[in-house]
Amino acid sequence: MLLITTLNFNHINHYLQSQSRDNLSVLLLTGGWLEAMQITCQTAATNPGNKELQEKIGEQKIILEQILLLFSVYQNDTNMVGLAADLEQLKAAFDKININYTYKESTMEVVDGVAIIKDNSTTTIDITPQNVEEIKNITNSIRTKIIS
Amino acid sequence: MKTTLFILLLVSSLAISANEQAESQCNADNLANACIPKLASGFNFLKSYKVDGLAKEKVEYSYVFTKGTQYMINVCSNGSSADGIVVTIFDKERNKVATSKINGQFITAIAYPCNATGIYYIQYTFDEPSAHCGGSALGFKR
């Protein structure tokens, strides 16, 4: 299923790029991400003790930064500017979350012809239920705006 | 003398033409697709990459890896070996976290259990001799 979905998206992306409509690929991607965010935030809200779910939401800070990078290419596209502004508002909420990265050299060994890596680096994500609530509210408002 | 020069010119032109033809024959798309079913059992396909290094020294892509997920990256060439293609993973600060060249040996697959969420750079380089042409697939399992 994932294979079919990924290959389909790649085909759509290549087609849209060839038609100089690559902005639609970005919108497609952003729409999917917002939908997934909305579901995850709703689930996290009903399970406030689930730290893993909260961290999963916090990790999306990195994804949002990449999405905004894509949007920066379309600063002159009036159809994109409005959504970019909404995403900036979401970014402000994500900016309150800290992702701390510590690098430690990894170790490797070869087992049955595959290099198995032991990753010794770590990340910690500082996120509170209040952060999740704020992200959930902004995500909902962006989603409502898109679908209405 | 003129004849010799003409033959030399003709041979050179043919050689250049043949070389250009060989260079345009890297079907990285096919090799990338061929790599997908070679992901180890249990890994779900995420993305395939073209490794067309005919005109450049390295090929690089980026991907967000997440903590608690195990990733596998494999390398495919026209033969059964890695054909001198080395895949190296760097973190966002460009620290090396994994490589497919271990003790001078070219490994065709890397299994990377990620412990730190972030952007990673997947870089393909070529050790001589190599056709500088291949494909690669990225998969994950939790």
Q: Is the confidence at residue A146, as pLDDT, over 70?
A: yes
Is A103 in Cβ contact with B93 (below 8 Å)?
yes
Tell me how far the alpha carbon of residue A73 is from its chain's centroid: 18
Residues belonging to chain A with any Cβ–Cβ distance to chain B shorter than 8 Å: 2-3, 6, 55-56, 59, 62-63, 66, 99, 101-103, 105-106, 108, 110, 113-123, 125
For the segment B101-117, what is each residue's pLDDT rounded down to a tens digit? 999 999 999 999 999 99
Q: Kindly report which listed range (A96-110, A129-143, B2-16) carries the lowest average pLDDT score.
A: B2-16
Is B102 in Cβ contact with A115 (below 8 Å)?
yes
Report d(CA B106, CA A137) in Å as an integer. Answer: 50
CA atoms within 13 A on the CB side of B33: 6
Is A119 in Cβ contact with B97 (below 8 Å)?
yes
With contacts defined as CB-CB under 8 Å, which chain A residues touch B110? 114-115, 117
The angle subtended at Cα B105 by Cα A111 and Cα B118, nearest 5°, is 70
For the segment A101-124, what is each residue's pLDDT rounded down to a tens digit? 999 999 999 999 999 999 999 999
**Interface test with chain B among A7, A116, A124, A125, by most B beta carbons within 10 Å:** A116
pTM of the model: 0.85
Q: How far is A79 from chain B (nearest CA, A)?
A: 27
Q: How far is B109 from chain A (nearest CA, A)?
A: 5
Which helix or strand (DSSP H or E) is residue B70 part of? Answer: strand B70-76
Report d(CA A124, CA B59) in Å as an integer. Answer: 31
With contacts defined as CB-CB under 8 Å, which chain B residues touch A2? 44-46
With contacts defined as CB-CB under 8 Å, which chain B residues touch A106? 97-98
Considering only alpha carbons, which residue of chain A is nearest residue B91?
A: A103
In order of their start, the domains of chain B are 27-141 (2.60.120.380)
Q: Is the confidence at residue B22, as pLDDT, over 60?
A: no
C-alpha dihedral sign at A126, A37, A18, A83: negative
ipTM of the complex: 0.86
Length of chain A: 148
